[in-house]
Amino acid sequence: MPLLQVFILSVLEACALESYIVAIHEHNVILSQNSEIPVLPEDAFMLMDKNMDILEAAIKAATKQSAHIIVTPEGGIYGWLLTRETIYPYLEDIPDPQVDWILLQPFVTEKQFNYPKKPEFVTFNISFEYFGIFTCADILCHDPAVVLTSRFQVDTILFPTAWGNTLPLLSAVQFHSAWAVGLGVNFLSANTRSSSLDMAGSGIYAPDSPRAYHYNTEMENGHYLVTELSSHPHLSPTYPAAVNWKLHASSIEQLPSSDQHFSGVFYHDIFSFTELTEPEGNPAVCQKDLCCHLSYKMAEKQKDDIYVLGAFDGLHTVEEQYYWQICALLKCKSTDPKSCGQPVETAQTRFDMFSLSGTFGTSYVFPEVLYSGVQLAPGEFEVLTDGRRISQTRTSRAVLSVRLFGRWYEKDPPHTEQASP
């Protein structure tokens, strides 16, 4: 059974703390040389001991820095490239056949685990904070992710993950930081490190901006982060106000002419795009019921940097089925319009200003800005209560993407339960 990799290092008896110290560790898991062949039980324990030694060192480091809690990655002691047969040596029987329970809700590609009949809502309360826990792809689902913030009203989400980056839509630091803003909670994301599977990017995110994050695909070793977070962020006078995500865009009457648009593939979905042909402007693009509006001014547009405004309103059907509404300002991979939506990590163009909004049908919208090198920029942007994501000053680095990622959970198809093999 998978190890729940959240460690509470110290519990204070005080009735309340205004802030507390948190840590995360991005871990490069030591794996067997051939994940397709079952290892001997003693070899499995040896591998897990090696990983536990690394995690123990991170825990000790967090303790020395007075951290109250540390999160380590999903699968941090045994990895993820396993089948039902090859994972068995890593497991231990729990001798209680009367209890029928499953710890986690695995992703569709994780056939080594049984699926739960219903998602579990895992919370725990400490004197200074109310925590919720979910894992990896759960972040894309209403249950348990949204339920923990809405019904249970947790303050902080602990998020062990083995997240493969999928630019330009779902890189780890990009989406996880946006989720913290969109749901208004602290979010502690500890990712696995693997260059072969493009797994990298961990962070400690608050509702207003990232507090600490790390993204580096060049280094193979793990990375440790520690910082301070405010307790009960929703009680803070600086807590972001509620946002009406369609207010501004719905007030704009003029719509673009269709002959300016073209279609492109963006993470397997067909987007409607319009190119930003001028150094400044106010373009719009629509798909179905979603119209995306952009006001922008480029600081120094480089001739090889092609940008588009894109819209998607529909059901994403790769791996799982999710209904998405997305407005995105994107840098294309090349000067060929067919490259728009393909993964790209570098850009040269900065923006003096931008303002992005859309006529969203959902209130669950996650705002993102990603810079060249897949980097965030805490404190440079804000969300207005009328649904605009805006820059506060000239961007400090070249822009890869600005995006409003909407999840319309009510339009998801019914979940089909998978029987346990």
Cα distance between residue 261 and residue 309, in whole Å: 10
Cα distance between residue 152 and residue 340, in whole Å: 40
Domains of the chain by residue range: 6-235, 247-411
Q: Residue 308 in contact with residue 332, Cβ under 8 Å?
A: yes
Straight-line distance from the first to the last Cα atom of the chain, in angstroms, rounded to the nearest whole number: 16
CA distances from 20 to 156, 227, 397 (A): 12, 9, 31
Q: What pLDDT, on a 0 to 100 scale, did the predictor assign at position 13?
A: 44
Cα distance between residue 24 and residue 5, in whole Å: 10
For domain 6-235, the CATH architecture is 4-Layer Sandwich (3.60)
Closest CA to 262 of 170, 185, 339, 152: 339
Q: What pLDDT, on a 0 to 100 scale, did the predictor assign at position 417?
A: 46
Cα 406–410–412 angle (5° rounding)? 85
Cα distance between residue 284 and residue 343, in whole Å: 23
Q: What pLDDT, on a 0 to 100 scale, did the predictor assign at position 100?
A: 55
pLDDT along the chain (421 residues), means of 10: 60 66 96 88 95 95 95 92 86 67 58 73 92 95 96 97 91 97 97 91 95 90 94 90 96 69 92 95 96 95 92 93 97 94 94 98 97 94 97 94 97 64 28
Cα distance between residue 115 and residue 170, in whole Å: 24
Buried b (16+ CB within 10 A) or exposed e, 119-144: bebbeeebebbbbbbbbbbbbbbbbb
Q: What pLDDT, on a 0 to 100 scale, did the predictor assign at position 47?
A: 95
Cα distance between residue 168 and residue 165, in whole Å: 9
Biggest CA pair distance of the chain: 69
Q: What pLDDT, on a 0 to 100 scale, did the predictor assign at position 98?
A: 63
Whether the upstream peptide bond of residue 168 has omega within 30° of 0, thus cis, is yes
Closest CA to 134 of 42, 6, 27, 323: 6
